[in-house]
Amino acid sequence: MPYCPKCRMEYREAVDHCADCGRRLVDGPMPPDEEDFVELYACATRLDAERLKAMLTVEKLVCNLREMGSTSFPTGGGVYGEVRLVVRRREAEQAAELIRQAMQDGEISPEAGEFVEEE
Digit-coded pLDDT (tens) for 67-95: 876 545 444 444 557 899 999 988 999 99
Number of domains in the chain: 2
Q: How far apart are CA 26 and CA 35, in angstroms?
A: 18
Which phi and psi (to 5°) does residue 86 adopt? -110, 130
* pLDDT at site 69: 64
Q: What is the pLDDT at residue 55?
A: 95
Same structural domain, 11 and 66: no
For 51, the domain range is 37-115
In whole angstroms, how far apart are CA 26 and each of 17, 77, 110, 119? 9, 25, 38, 28
Query: Domain check: are 80 and 105 in the same one?
Result: yes
pLDDT for 14 equals 87
Same domain, 70 and 94: yes
Handedness of CA 19, 23, 29, 31 (dihedral sign): negative
Return the pLDDT at 75.
46
Q: Identify whether residues 73 and 101 lie together within a single domain.
A: yes
Spatial distance between the Cα atoms of 3 and 28, rounded to a whole number of angstroms: 8
Residues 75 and 50 in one domain: yes
Same domain, 54 and 106: yes
Q: What is the pLDDT along the chain (119 residues), one digit of tens a residue?
A: 788 888 778 888 888 898 888 899 988 877 766 668 899 999 988 999 999 999 999 999 989 998 876 545 444 444 557 899 999 988 999 999 999 999 999 998 989 999 998 65
Q: For residue 89, which phi and psi values (nearest 5 degrees)?
A: -55, -40
Q: How far apart are CA 30 and CA 1, in angstroms?
A: 8
Provide the pLDDT for residue 29: 77
For residue 45, the domain's CATH number is 3.30.70.1530
22 and 50 in a common domain = no
Same domain, 8 and 53: no
